[in-house]
Structure 1
Amino acid sequence: MQFRHQKVSVTAPARLHMGFIDLSGSLGRHFGSIGVALNEQATRLTVAGADRRLISGPSSARAEKCLATLCKALEVPDTLEIHIESAIPEHVGLGSGTQMSLAIGAALNAFYDLGLSVRDIAKVMVRGLRSGIGIGVFEQGGLVVDGGRGEHTVTPPLLARMAIPEAWRFILVFDKRGQGLHGLQEIQAFQELPPFPRREAEQLCYLLLMQALPAIAENDIVRFGEVITRLQRSVGEHFAAVQGGIYTSPEVAAAMEWLAEQGAVAVGQTSWGPTGFCMVNGAGRAEALVELARRKFAASDTLVFIGASARNSGGLVVVE
């Protein structure tokens, strides 16, 4: 096969997973989730033709596996040079695996002119088994809601996509020591979870549709934050038995409690953590609160605080 382009560059944004809606499928569909794309955390890579396969940069081992799977399934040569400029940290709740898979898949798609959609690539890489947030943010960015899994679902359908107001900012809290559940541990954890109450799933559906999404449309960060905090508490309590509490990291839990006391909203943990997140209105307010948090928790050598903004566009593919 001959390739038509010399180089393809891809940017795949990290995502916050803000929670599931129905973990037991008591209403006929399993999971369903809400999340948002981020600007400051992303996987960025370039793919170019080469005489042999060469992969460099962070998360090279993961990229190697993705490339092997994709090239075999798509029947294209793997004699490529891939340079990873930056990679989303692995297993901290920011969607690193899905974004690496989609980034390399999108690069191959453009490089070899395969005519694939993002969901075609996700299907090959077996992504979207539970959440479709990573797929949705690569497709369109912004805040996305997926419809979970039903009887005929291949990848969770995108139900809603909304732009996050420009002034809204996130504060992320990382625990440098640990990783969230992933792989076989994650599968086992889902199997061990008790049934999710049907009435709770119904309540979360209502709050999401009739309060959280209208709050984005009306630029009401407080009301949006109330719903996300409520959803996070519900899901966190459900996961507590398998992750050791509402938060995976006790240190992150303490930091999130303090941030809420300072007026932050939408307080929770993304995916299995250990990363926590919250929101404030205004870039200046976010910067000031990040600095206060760093001083407050300076004695801890485990926590890292950074500010972030929502990315209201999807993955970027540039062909040269």
Structure 2
Amino acid sequence: MSKTSRYSRALMAEVDTGSRLHFGFYRTTGGPFLFASIGAAIREPSFKAVVRPCEGLEVSGQDKDRVLSLAEDVVRALGVPGARIEVRSSIPAHVGLGSTTQVKLGIAWALNALYGLGKSVRELAFLIGRGEFSGIGTLAFEAGGLIVDTGRRAEFKGPKDLPRALVRLDVPEDWRFLLLTREGMRGLNEASERDLLLSLEPMPDGVRGRICSLLLNVLLPSVLWGNIRAFGRALTEIQELVGRYFSPYQGGVFADEAAEELRSFLLSKGAYGVGQSSWGPTLYALTTARECQALKEAVSAFLEESGFKYGVLVAEPRNEGARLEVRSP
């Protein structure tokens, strides 16, 4: 329980940040820059909360137990007296949508403003332990859009060593991502991910070269031209290549054994591209605003017939960073 103080009556901050899709790495270990990534920000699911300064820590609302645990880390790292947090919506944990980074950065960004810490997003990310193995979550929090990051410096000592945005582009507003998350299944947690990634062998030259070729020659130009077909084909191949590279660690190209069948079905019903976000189990299918409802209905019928239990959600691209409004209660 928190102790009421002068802080709780001063100001409040409303924070709103979306999720991120992680499309994979184009470079992992070896060399001066590690874990270079590709990804995009999406509007849903979102983390929305009202944060007030106070002494101690109190969390109410959705997913309060997990948010409390993450908030304890943030308050400790920032060295502030505490926070009262009302969670209005949250992001499912360990399903491949980057919830830990978005929730921790959302709380840290709010406390940074409320306590006048004057720190940048990158400084906050380093303090709360984010960005060591991918910059997509932090960069999506900063500015949204489609992101290709540089990877981090091999010597990782401070905020200046975090990944930077090599490319950041707006995703066409009429594109959509259909998200499918298997009920009761979770991907790797942060501790398991850290151990695995630090032990990785470098990505083979042929795999890295093909991913970079697709990235430079097809994926990025397709975003600028709004060519969803070319983008989807390139993204599907990139995800296949990344999935094969990680298959010894996740049991196949996908973490979810039903994903191969789902991918084939989605592509047969008009999805422009299909992949797994991060460690999964969430799959995404690329479609358009006009076509997303028909695709959602088709895959929902398929899942009901097959007996697979999945949550299905349509997500819009998010071409802006997190929103923060500080005001009097």
Scaled to the shorter chain, the TM-score interval is over 0.9
- The correspondence for 2:69, drawn from 60, 65, 72, is 65
Which residue is 1:138 aligned to?
141
Q: How far off is 1:64 after superposition?
A: 2.5
State the one-letter code of the partner of 2:312: F
- The correspondence for 1:317, drawn from 309, 324, 329, is 324
State the one-letter code of the partner of 2:184: R
Which residue is 1:13 aligned to?
18
The answer (yes or no) to whether the contact 1:175–1:252 under 8 Å persists in 2 is no
Partner-residue secondary structure (3-state), 1:114: coil
Which residue is 1:185 aligned to?
192
Q: How far off is 1:213 after superposition?
A: 0.8
Q: How far off is 1:194 after superposition?
A: 4.4
Matches within 5 A, 1:62-101: 62-78=66-82, 80-101=83-104
Which residue is 2:301 aligned to?
295
Q: Cα deviations across residues 269-304 of structure 1 (Å, max 9, x unaligned)?
A: 000000001211x31201111011101111324122
Distance 1:193 1:151 in 2: 14
- The correspondence for 2:114, drawn from 106, 111, 114, is 111
Q: How far off is 1:104 after superposition?
A: 0.6
Matches within 5 A, 1:145-224: 145-152=148-155, 154-191=161-198, 193-224=200-231
State the one-letter code of the partner of 1:286: C
The answer (yes or no) to whether the contact 1:252–1:303 under 8 Å persists in 2 is no
Alignment CA distance shift 1:256-1:112 (3 Å): same
Partner-residue secondary structure (3-state), 2:233: helix
Distance 1:306 1:53 in 2: 32
Q: How big is the alpha-carbon RMSD for the aligned residues of Structure 1 and Structure 2?
A: 1.9
TM-score under structure 1 length normalisation = 0.93
The answer (yes or no) to whether the contact 1:45–1:84 under 8 Å persists in 2 is yes
Distance 1:304 1:253 in 2: 17
Alignment CA distance shift 1:66-1:20 (3 Å): same
Q: Cα deviations across residues 129-165 of structure 1 (Å, max 9, x unaligned)?
A: 1110000110001111111122355211111110011
Q: How far off is 1:195 after superposition?
A: 3.9
Alignment CA distance shift 1:267-1:10 (3 Å): same
Alignment CA distance shift 1:191-1:139 (3 Å): closer
Q: How far off is 1:99 after superposition?
A: 0.5
Q: What are the ranges of 5 or more consecutive residues in structure 1 without an aligned counterpart?
A: none
Distance 1:2 1:207 in 2: 56
> Percent identity among equivalent residues?
36
Which residue is 2:50 aligned to?
46
Q: How far off is 1:266 after superposition?
A: 2.5
Distance 1:57 1:205 in 2: 43
Q: What are the ranges of 5 or more consecutive residues in structure 2 without an aligned counterpart?
A: none
Distance 2:68 2:325 in 1: 21
Q: How far off is 1:243 after superposition?
A: 0.8
The answer (yes or no) to whether the contact 2:77–2:128 under 8 Å persists in 1 is no
> Where do 4+ consecutive residues of structure 1 move more than 3 Å?
1-5, 49-52, 191-195
Q: Does 1:128 align with 2:131?
A: yes
Alignment CA distance shift 1:97-1:51 (3 Å): closer
Paired positions, count: 317
Distance 1:217 1:66 in 2: 37
Q: How far off is 1:28 after superposition?
A: 4.1
The answer (yes or no) to whether the contact 1:251–1:303 under 8 Å persists in 2 is no
- Between 1:67-76 and 1:102-111, the stretch displaced more is 67-76
The answer (yes or no) to whether the contact 2:125–2:138 under 8 Å persists in 1 is yes
State the one-letter code of the partner of 1:289: L
Distance 2:32 2:187 in 1: 28
Q: Cα deviations across residues 159-209 of structure 1 (Å, max 9, x unaligned)?
A: 111001111111111101210112332233335544421132122122212
